[in-house]
Amino acid sequence: MRPLPVLAEGRLEQGFSETKPAYNQAEAITEANRCLYCEDAPCIKACPTGIDIPTFIRKIATENTTGAARTILRENLLGYSCARVCPVEVLCAGACVYNAWERPPIQIGRLQRFATETTLSQTPMSSLFARKPSTGKRVALIGSGPASIAAAGLLAMEGHKAVIFERKSVPGGLNTLGIAPYKLKGNDALQEIQWIMDLGDIELRCGVEITQDDNDHSATKVSAQSLLRDFDAVFLGLGLGADSRLGALDEDGPGVYGAVELIEKIKSDPAFSLTHVSHAIVVGGGNTAIDIAHELALLGVSDVSMVYRRGTQDMSAYEHELDYGRKHGVRVMANRVVTGFVRDADNKLIGAQIARAENGRAVEGTEETVAAQIAAIAIGQSRATELATRFEGVTLDSKGRVVVDPITHRTGNARVWAGGDCVNGGKEVVNAAQEAKLAVRDMLNALAAS
Amino acid sequence: MADLSIDFCGVTSPNPFWLASAPPTNTGGQVMRAFDAGWGGAVWKTLGDPITNVSSRFGGIDYGSTRMMGLNNIELITDRPLDVNLREMYEVKKRYPKHTLVASLMVESRDNWRELIKKVQDVGSDLIELNFGCPHGMCERGMGSAVGSEPKVLEEITRWVVEEAKIPVIVKLTPNTGDINEPAEAAARGQAHAISLINTIKSLIGVDLERMVPNPRVGGQSTNGGYCGPAVKPIALFMLSQVAKNPTAKHLPISGIGGISNWRDAAEFIALGSTSVQVCTAVMHYGYRIVEDMIEGLSDFLDRKGMKSVNELRGRAVDSYVEWGELNLDYTIKAEINQKTCIGCNLCVTACMDGAHQCIHIPGRTHEESVKAGHYHIPEEIPALPVKIAGLPAGRFVPFVDEVECIGCNLCALVCPVPGTITMVERPGPIGHVETWNDRVAQGRDINPGALTSTLEARAKRNP
């Protein structure tokens, strides 16, 4: 198997330390022994993939670490990255009965990381799960983000060949390029893909675009029609598109980035630096907004302001993420709207026009100029789902999301399934993993019958 | 403040807390530090012909994150020259005249006993303890528990020593015997002045699965040792209760030993008949300093109970320990779960379903689901009381106890992690008056429905 690409040295991401460092075995066992081993446990119900959490924790306590990893990965092949990026505070750990008892909940994420990281760094994933003989069936997966990677692994375990098509040169989608570096770094996400590729016949084709033109036979292009022709099934794990723009005055130009674009630069571009940046503005109130604001603060930008057009109570960012960010200096400016950007004679960004807002709308005449050498727009991402419609029968809803059956994740085309952000509009890695699981479950039945 | 001093065979000790004969009493320096910390007495590391000890010597057993719930040792008696030990014992007694110094002895011949008894008396020992309990190393050579598990030998050696000694003699019993009453009665017949129990239990603490050698490991080998620590306390309490009730031995003062780690453990031993208590493993784990809490805790407890001295506590629980056949069959309790404090972990449900009588239900199930879950009796109505405490996701209910099926076994209350949430409450009994199994036997009513045919036939033959 060809080793996966590794991100280059010299990226800003490399300077981050982890918010929740890895446990050593003694720490893991001590924490595992705190677990009550509830019956009908609320943490399992709170996990979108339904991992049997008390069982894997007990296995850590008995030093059956491999078994713990197997219990996790059986329900969620992305158990390693989920351990590090899941908002456990609002999922499993948030449901822990210890909260009700006013005791700290079990550190489920850190225990899950211990089990998966310890095991997979020593044991090939294929030795945890028996691999079935080859079926000769082939599945194409579009996009190499969490949904496709999970689906490919599950298909490979069943003996099907999985071919993943990725537009970028680096695989992994947002897991590699979009996770806050204090949670998970790009090369760790790539390592997980490498682990999963060991499960069976998985081929990764990076730098390939899906086209409408069936007659373009260049090496970097493949048409939707040919995929339907050459493969037994297709899985769409398209993710989301480019960052949305504000449409504010002088927005276009250097210094104003989309939030996802800026996070990607921090994580993957050795040429990107923040020298001479002392003031930053982040527009938005969601989790991507707090992520980039927090990252900028940790990178030494002395003044980072999150500008949000409504009150703090309306922000969709998790409370615990806001708290972490505030601790590191992120300032929240609620009920404010960025109406324009200020540039000097060389077009360099020097500030933003910020107005007071009522009901999310700027109040005229209240603008003031706030210094900023960099700005990140975190008000959502456009859809990249137009591509999905190139597959006959696949439809989008009014919000541009791929329409699927909620149980089977099958689209309007009987041989096309979809999952992840392109279906749910942008959720967690763990949701992508679960949707991939549902899609593959149905796909396996269909493949067996075909 | 209650008086903690005790009189043990005429020897006054400032408190009942003594160090057992073990590594914490190996040297004079240690014993003096222990007395400074507050220990009332010390039983010196067993004297005899010095031995050569091995490395390593101890193995521990952990439970969850609790270290050393049990300890196993293969260390034998003192490996220091006798004159060194005697000199230090003399020094200790001179500096601490009010503290109790006990000489623990283990030798082979009658001449040995005669010589050693004289020597330990000469250095000022208050008491002699005969180590008839050590279950490893020495017993293979005819000493220690080899004596303790052979009542005739025990009686004979006890008699020699008592005849020889000018100070009171304690016989230390081994638990490695079928019936602790036998060595206890033998000690009484041999005119021992007191009994101490229990010594360590024969054990292998575990196996090193990487090396395939039991622990503790001495190179590529290991050997059986003596088990002690908190894990052995229930065994010790049982044996103590046997001796405390034994008609031949109950007049003897007892020094209780076995897993005592705090004042509460000590109080339990005293309530079952101990005059003094001996501590080892807890000190090996946490040091001599634990005695401060033991003294304070016991003293406050006695004050709370209105007892003026520790002597008033002694034996208080002995009479309420009876044989099974004397228990009241009419006594009935049922589990009750407090909605205000239940955290919804359902551990009581799982314990009752798999380990007891399937009487605790998860509310919200249909009749069919309850049957499928393994219940035999489904109550008409299972109230769905939500777990009250904020922060839990909706849909968690307080488990429901079906009193029809609950047999009052305590298991749910034992597994519940939140103290006081499950209580066992008394209910009217099925008989309506006190009745024991022994009563039924006496009245010939000790046959329940479903008895063996051969039992019924035998009974018919006996009572035509």
Q: Is-contact A435 A423, C-beta < 8 A?
A: yes
The answer to the question of residue A231 being in a domain is: yes
Residues A268 and A319 in one domain: yes
What secondary structure letter does DSSP report for B230?
Answer: G
CA distance A355 to A332: 14
Residues A32 and A113 in one domain: yes
B-chain CB neighbours of A111 within 8 Å are none
Amino acid symbol at B138? M
Amino acid symbol at B363? P
The answer to the question of residue A10 being in a domain is: no
Contact A100 B390 (CB under 8 A): yes
Residues A227 and A247 in one domain: no
Angle CA B447–B453–B454, to nearest 5: 95
Q: Any idea which architecture B324-427 has in CATH?
A: 2-Layer Sandwich (3.30)
pLDDT for A216 beyond 90: no
Contact B345 A97 (CB under 8 A): yes
Residues A227 and A335 in one domain: no
Question: A98-138, pLDDT tens digit by residue?
Answer: 998 889 999 999 999 999 999 999 999 999 998 899 999 99
Q: What is the pLDDT of residue A3?
A: 74
Residues A175 and A299 in one domain: no
SS3 A370: strand
Could you give the residue numbers annotated as active site of B? 134
Question: A150-206, pLDDT tens digit by residue?
Answer: 999 999 999 999 999 999 999 999 999 999 999 999 999 999 999 999 999 999 999
Q: Give the domain extent around A293.
A: 243-381
A-chain CB neighbours of B393 within 8 Å are 42, 45-46, 95
The answer to the question of residue A5 being in a domain is: no
The sign of the torsion formed by the CA atoms of B314, B316, B319, B322 equals negative
Q: What percent of chain A has pLDDT over 70?
A: 100
SS3 B52: coil
Amino acid symbol at B279? V
Contact A38 B349 (CB under 8 A): no
Distance between A40 CA and the closest CA of chain B, angstroms: 7
Q: Does A61 touch chain B if contact means CB atoms closer than 8 Å?
A: yes
Residues A177 and A286 in one domain: no
Residues A267 and A372 in one domain: yes
Q: Where in chain B is the domain with CATH 3.20.20.70?
A: 6-313
Q: What is the pLDDT of residue B395?
A: 75
- B400-401 and B225-228: which strand pairing? unpaired
Largest CA distance in chain A: 71
The answer to the question of residue A12 being in a domain is: no
Contact B418 A101 (CB under 8 A): yes
Q: Which of B90, B167, B157, B91 is nearest to B128 (CA)?
A: B167
Residues of chain B in Cβ contact (below 8 Å) with chain A: 64-65, 343-347, 349-350, 362, 387, 389-393, 396, 417-418
How many domains does chain A contain in total?
3
Contact A99 B391 (CB under 8 A): yes
Average pLDDT over residues A215-225: 86
Contact B65 A36 (CB under 8 A): no
What secondary structure letter does DSSP report for B71?
Answer: E
Positions in chain B whose pLDDT score sits under 50: none
Q: What is the pLDDT of residue B342?
A: 93
The answer to the question of residue A142 being in a domain is: yes
Residues A162 and A226 in one domain: yes
Question: A406-432, pLDDT tens digit by residue?
Answer: 999 999 999 999 999 999 999 999 999
The answer to the question of residue A13 being in a domain is: no
Question: A51-67, pLDDT tens digit by residue?
Answer: 999 999 999 999 999 99
Q: What is the pLDDT of residue B391?
A: 58
Choosing from A104, A123, A142, the residue where a domain stops is A123
CA distance A181 to A266: 9
The answer to the question of residue A225 being in a domain is: yes
The sign of the torsion formed by the CA atoms of B350, B336, A95, A22 equals negative
CA distance A322 to A337: 19
For B27, phi and psi rounded to 5 degrees?
-135, 165
Specify the DSSP element, H or E, that contains B151: helix B151-164
Which residues does residue A330 pair with via DSSP β-bridges, in sequence order?
A: A304
Residues A290 and A414 in one domain: no
Number of residues that this document lists for chain B: 464
Q: Which of B308, B238, B331 is nearest to B5 (CA)?
A: B308
A-chain CB neighbours of B396 within 8 Å are 42
B-chain CB neighbours of A46 within 8 Å are 393
The sign of the torsion formed by the CA atoms of A412, A417, A421, A424 equals positive
Choosing from A345, A365, A381, the residue where a domain stops is A381
Which CATH number does the domain housing residue A36 bear?
Answer: 1.10.1060.10
Residues A180 and A264 in one domain: no
Q: What is the pLDDT of residue B1?
A: 87
Q: What is the pLDDT of residue B431?
A: 96
Q: Does domain B6-313 have CATH number 3.90.79.10?
A: no
Which CATH number does the domain housing residue A209 bear?
Answer: 3.50.50.60
Q: Where in chain B is the domain with CATH 3.30.70.20?
A: 324-427
Choosing from A381, A397, A427, the residue where a domain stops is A381
Residues A326 and A252 in one domain: yes
pLDDT for A1 beyond 60: no
Q: What is the pLDDT of residue B392?
A: 60
Q: Which of A47, A233, A230 is nearest to A139 (CA)?
A: A233
Residues A313 and A362 in one domain: yes
Binning chain A into helix, strand and coil, the percentages to the nearest 5 are 40, 20, 45
How many A×B Cβ pairs under 8 Å?
Answer: 50
- Taking each helix axis from N to C end, the angle separating A108-120 and A65-75, rounded to the nearest 10 degrees, works out to 110
Distance between B57 CA and the closest CA of chain A, angstroms: 24
Write out the two tokens for B30.
Answer: 């240690």
